[in-house]
Structure 1
Amino acid sequence: MSSPQVITPEDLLAEAKRQLGFPRIVAICGSTRFMAEMAEADVRETKARRIVVKPGCDLKSPHEFWSDPVEAAALKIQLDELHRSKILLADEVLVVGDYIGDSTRGEIEYAKSLGKPIRYTHPEVDPDA
């Protein structure tokens, strides 16, 4: 006798998006030093009729929300968790930039663990290439 197939929350999400007829969702990942390139990738992906989610804050640029180093450190943890939720929501990941740091490397590994397809604006930085 075979055991029943376990339906994961990720399976339910994918099925709901399919039933709703959602366009593909792309999570843009990369160092915030590439915020301008992320904005350009957003335009291109949106023109291609894809929903785009990407980092919304650049902690390297001055802002009152992260001017205090202690608050900035706590916010960084929260934003990393939020971005992983964006990756989970997405159908695929687009890594922007010609450099991959530790945070982006972790996001790529997370996306791989979820079985998400990954594209690169600079294929030479693909760790699997």
Structure 2
Amino acid sequence: MHQQPPHSAISRPPIVVLCGSTTYWDQLADAALHETVAGRIVLAPGCNMRQPHPLWSDLKRADRLKAKLDDLHLRKIDLADEVLVVNPDGYIGDSTRREIDYAHSLGKPVRYTHPV
């Protein structure tokens, strides 16, 4: 009897990773909503270090955490099929620019929420 491959081997929705400044946290959440409703698996920043929290209240700890999260986001780009840059008013900061460059180096398509 022929066995069916697992569902993920047959097909899976595209994976999109959101990149952009956490200054625009609400816009990132809105983009995640729209991408999810469009049937995509969404990877996004997992925390907003611009909001106070005990995990990053100490400056040295915050610097280490920021570096760790920056690297984690690059791994999300590795997993994604495409990148969506959330860039209200065309804004792209240094971290986001680095992520875009990384995505391009991997040949990942990059879309933008606003004209660049």
TM-score, structure 1 length as denominator? 0.80
Residue 100 of structure 1 is aligned with which of 92, 110, 114? 92
1:1-129 matched pairs, under 5 angstroms: 19-97=9-87, 98-123=90-115, 125=116
Q: CA offsets per residue over residues 19-63 of structure 1, 9 Å max, x none?
A: 351100000000010110010000100000000000011111100
Q: Report the count of equivalent residues.
A: 108
* Cα offsets for 1:7-30 (capped at 9, x unmatched): xxxxxxxxxxx7351100000000
Unmatched runs of 5 consecutive residues or more in structure 2: 1-7
Structure 1 ranges of 4+ moved more than 2 A: none
Q: Normalised by the size of structure 2, how large is the TM-score?
A: 0.89
Q: How many percent of aligned residue pairs carry the same amino acid? A: 58
Separation in 2, partners of 1:119, 1:112: 11
Listed as ranges, the gaps of 5+ residues in structure 1 are 1-17
1:74 alignment partner AA? R
Counterpart amino acid of residue 73 in structure 1: D
Amino acid at match of 2:18: I
Q: Tell me which amino acid in the other structure corresponds to 1:64.
A: P
Which secondary structure state, in structure 2, belongs to the residue aligned with residue 27 of structure 1? strand
Amino acid in structure 1 at the alignment position of 2:11: G
